Amino acid sequence: MTPPLTGPLARVNVRADAWDLIWSFVHRTLVINLGLAIGGVPLFFALATVAQPWRYPVFFAVLAVPLGPSVAAAFAYLAGEDPSLPVLFRAYRVLAVRAVLLWAAVVGLIGILVADIRLLYDAMPGAAVVPLLAVLVVLTLATGLALLVLSATKPELPLRAALRLAVYAAVRTWALSVLSLVVLVAAVVIVSQVPPAGLATVPGCALWVVFTNTKLQLSRVLPEESQ
């Protein structure tokens, strides 16, 4: 007769539906990581080969633009019920053009703001506006993420209305915007320090947090009939 199990594992009692939820989350995370890895191949290759990437901001900004459609497709994939890989690819194909244009505008505006900060930070009176420029960088990135979520979940929304909602959500619920950006920065740091393991696990989890936060932000500013 087999003796009963003893120790910590014997006290683990997880319902079957909880395991299904866990494995569904793991599966979705791996699918999203695969999509990001494919969309970001040029950027990841350049980061792996260039010793000081911050010295080439324009080059790396251009390489970051293709991540826009990958992120938008990941948001659309998270919004759906079907966890299969073709869903992600279909979302990428549908959202690619609008997402790349939106993300290119976001990256370009952030690049201009960062260039202004570098130019003004060490001399008065220009240094006085540096905090404002830094806030605008954060607002631009938060707005860009909200625009990608709206593109993925409400593609019928006109661009002007989507932009207004994204800015309003980012400002009104600023704490969630900051949380999303902190999570993204932490993910970038982890991936840069441990590239293989980081790419395999972290980006999908980070985008899930960003998607959840942004949906909550938008739910507070969208009209009830649009939710």
pLDDT digits (tens, 9 = 90+) for 197-222: 777 778 888 999 999 999 999 888 87
Number of H helices, E strands in the chain: 9, 0
What token pair was written down for 186? Answer: 């932490």
What is the mean pLDDT of the segment spanning 83-104?
Answer: 90
What token pair was written down for 154? Answer: 């409400």
Length of the chain counted residue by residue = 227
**Is it the case that residue 157 has pLDDT exceeding 50?**
yes
- The pLDDT, as a whole number, for residue 224 is 55
Least confidently predicted of 78-87, 133-142, 188-197: 188-197
Q: How confident is the model at residue 227 (pLDDT cuts 50, 70, 90)?
A: low
**Is it the case that residue 155 has pLDDT exceeding 60?**
yes
Q: How confident is the model at residue 20 (pLDDT cuts 50, 70, 90)?
A: low
What token pair was written down for 223? Answer: 């009209």
DSSP state of 225: G
Task: Report the C-alpha gap between 130 and 143 in whole angstroms.
Answer: 20
Distance between start and end Cα atoms, the chain: 58
Domain boundaries, the chain: 19-220
What is the mean pLDDT of the segment spanning 51-77?
Answer: 87
Burial 153-182 (b: 16+ CB within 10 A, else e): bbeebeeeebbebbbbbbeebeebbeebbe
Least confidently predicted of 1-5, 22-26, 133-137: 1-5
Q: How confident is the model at residue 105 (pLDDT cuts 50, 70, 90)?
A: very high
Burial bucket for residue 16 (CB in 10 Å: 0-12, 13-18, 19+): exposed
Q: pLDDT digits over 131-147, tens only?
A: 888 999 999 999 999 99
Compare 24 and 209 and report the one with higher pLDDT: 209
Residue given tokens 């625009």 in the structure block: 147
- Report the 10 Å Cβ neighbour count for 192: 12
What is the mean pLDDT of the segment spanning 150-165?
Answer: 90
Question: Which phi-psi region, left, alpha or beta, contains residue 14 (left: φ > 0; alpha: ψ -120 to 50)?
Answer: beta
- The pLDDT, as a whole number, for residue 5 is 46
